[in-house]
Structure 1
Amino acid sequence: MSSKGPEHFPQVFTPKSAAIFLVTGMGLLFYFQNEKAKILEQQEKDRANKAYGRPAVGGPFSLTTHTGGTYTEQDLLGKWSMVYFGFTNCPDICPAELDKMGLVLDAAEKEHGKIFNPVFVSVDPARDSPSRIAVYLKDFHPGFTGLVGSYQAVKAMCKAYRVYFSTPPNAKPEDDYLVDHSIFVYLMDPKGQFMEAFGQAVTVDEMLQKMRETITEWKSETGRTT
């Protein structure tokens, strides 16, 4: 059997195949680098969403305080606001939630100082005048600011805060009707950004612990000390 020299073997790695290999390799490298960049970008988005991604709760509003002044979203800035939506004719849930907020505020102020702003927003504008809210709030924490406005103004704020309420739009003060509404205490940071929503089942201790964690994390992220 005769043997063949190297010149008799087919040339597999020709200049043409080398060029194809090089182009293919560069294409794969670009593809994988692009995919890696996409993965890193998504990971960064996921990290950011985990740290900052919260529901879009809150926004501009203008209502009247229980003392007759004007109150807007700008008045929420500078302190940690706790915002609750209810009404003075509420037989049990609202008083219980406002009492709970008072206990949380007293305990939180001892730990963090006077950095909190409790707000009560009436979802019954037909019956809750500023003077009526002023009398109502005397039974609760003295730091509360009560807010009320026209039906449309209240509806706009409730929409911004994703709050449901069933007050009839054309209700009159003498009408007899029931009001159903969302039961949440909204925690807003000193920049007016939504941080947490505490439902009816959340206890005082649970609220305090979550607020402690949220405030600590916020200080770390913003570099603030207060």
Structure 2
Amino acid sequence: MAGLRFLRLASSSPLRNRFIPHSSRYRSYTKGSGHSDQKLARQFGSEEELSQSRPWATYVIPSAAVIAIAGIGLFIKYNDERRAIPKGSNQGSFSDMKYINKPAIGGPFKLYDTENHLVTDHDLRGNWTLMYCGYTSSPDVGPAEVQKMAKAIDILESEYSIKLKPVFITIDPERDTPDQLQAYLKEFDSRIVGLTGPIAAVRQMAQEYRVYFKKVDEEGQDYLVESSNNMYLFDPNMEIVKTFGVEYDALQLSDAIVQEVKKATR
């Protein structure tokens, strides 16, 4: 009896409409919406027909496409980050220096100095290194860059007591023998270390240090070498710090090096 009494109260209660299923209310709304709703229903089908007619592939394929696109995006991002090769080393007193997203300049090499001694990249560690790649037969840019290097190391030592190792690596090993390098660099500054080696070794170095060079205007044994003409500053861990173009003069070059050395020692 109590149950029947509850049902009568519920049916007569003003809250009755709250218990009406949503589908019933939607049907009553569509009945009063007129001819336009019937036209849309004929054109697109009813809600129940659409839900029943959609195959499972319509839900799976878009999801798979989204996942595939996201995967491709992550792969591209990872590949770009890997090619950027974040720099950093935990060796020596510069273990706290973090070079993130530096260009991938530098790597192993095996060359010979003007005394025919084997020199590798590991031999340059422990000192700041200023490196230039050129050739002794260069008619204009090469001598100007070597002269600039010589003046810059003079300024750094005399005014700031900063010593670094200046290195000249030839990109013309066919003509730049150890003796030729020694005679050439002696005209500028005997402190500049000259390096040469087999053609394959020089090409490997150029690839590691992103040095562009190419023979041009060849006439027998006479030719010029087109090159990138950049100067590189490396820290004592042989990590690239800064690249200098031909637009720097000796004073600007030395000032920029001082700033980088001070920044690192801080």
TM-score (norm 1): 0.71
Pairwise CA distance, 1:204? 2.0
Task: Flag the 1:206–1:114 CA change in 2: closer, same or farther, 3 A.
Answer: closer
Q: Aligned pair 1:163/2:186, yes or no?
A: no
Q: TM-score, normalised by structure 2?
A: 0.60
Matched residue SS, 2:211: coil
Residue type of the alignment partner of 2:223: Y
CA contact (8 A) 2:153 2:163 kept: no
Q: Name the structure where helix makes up a greater proportion of residues.
A: 2
Aligned position for 2:154: 106
Post-superposition offset of 1:179: 1.0
What is the Cα deviation at residue 217 of structure 1? 1.5
Quote the Cα distance in structure 1 between the aligned partners of 2:143 and 2:99. 34
1:86 correspondence with 2:120: no
Give the deviation of 1:60 after TM superposition.
0.1
Task: Supply the AA of the counterpart residue of 2:251.
Answer: D
Judged with a 3 Å threshold, the aligned counterparts in structure 2 of structure 1 residues 114 and 51 are, in CA distance, closer, same or farther, namely: closer
Aligned length in residues: 175
Determine if the alignment matches structure 1 residue 128 to structure 2 residue 186.
no
Which residues of structure 2 form unaligned runs of 5+? 1-13, 20-80, 88-97
- Measured against aligned partners, the alpha-carbon deviations of 1:76-113 in whole angstroms (never above 9, x if no partner) come to 11111011001111111111111111111011112443
Larger RCO: 1 or 2 (CA < 8 Å, sep 6+): 1
Q: How does 1:1-226 map to 2 (within 5 A)?
A: 52-113=100-161, 115-167=163-215, 175-220=221-266
Using the TM superposition, give the Cα deviation of residue 141 of structure 1 relative to its aligned residue in structure 2, in angstroms: 1.6
The answer as to whether partners of 1:123 and 1:167 remain within 8 angstroms in 2 is no
| % identity of equivalent residues | 34
Gaps of at least 5 residues in structure 1 are 1-6, 12-44, 221-226
1:178 is paired with a residue of what secondary structure? strand
In structure 1, C-alpha distance between the alignment counterparts of 2:160 and 2:122, rounded to whole Å: 22
CA RMSD, Structure 1 to Structure 2 (Å): 2.5
CA contact (8 A) 2:213 2:226 kept: yes
Cα distance, 1:114 vs. partner?
Answer: 5.2
Larger Rg: 2
1:153-205: CA deviation from partner (whole Å, max 9, x where unpaired): 0000011110011148xx9xx71222111111110001100011110011222
Indicate if the aligned counterparts of 2:171 and 2:213 stay in contact, CA closer than 8 A. Answer: yes
For residues 197 and 153 of structure 2, the distance between their equivalents in structure 1, rounded to whole angstroms, comes to 25
Distance 1:124 1:91 in 2: 14
* Distance (Å, rounded) in 2 between the aligned partners of 1:96 and 1:199: 12
**Structure 2 CA distance for aligned equivalents of residues 214 and 68 of structure 1:** 33
Give the counterpart letter for 1:57 in structure 2. Answer: I
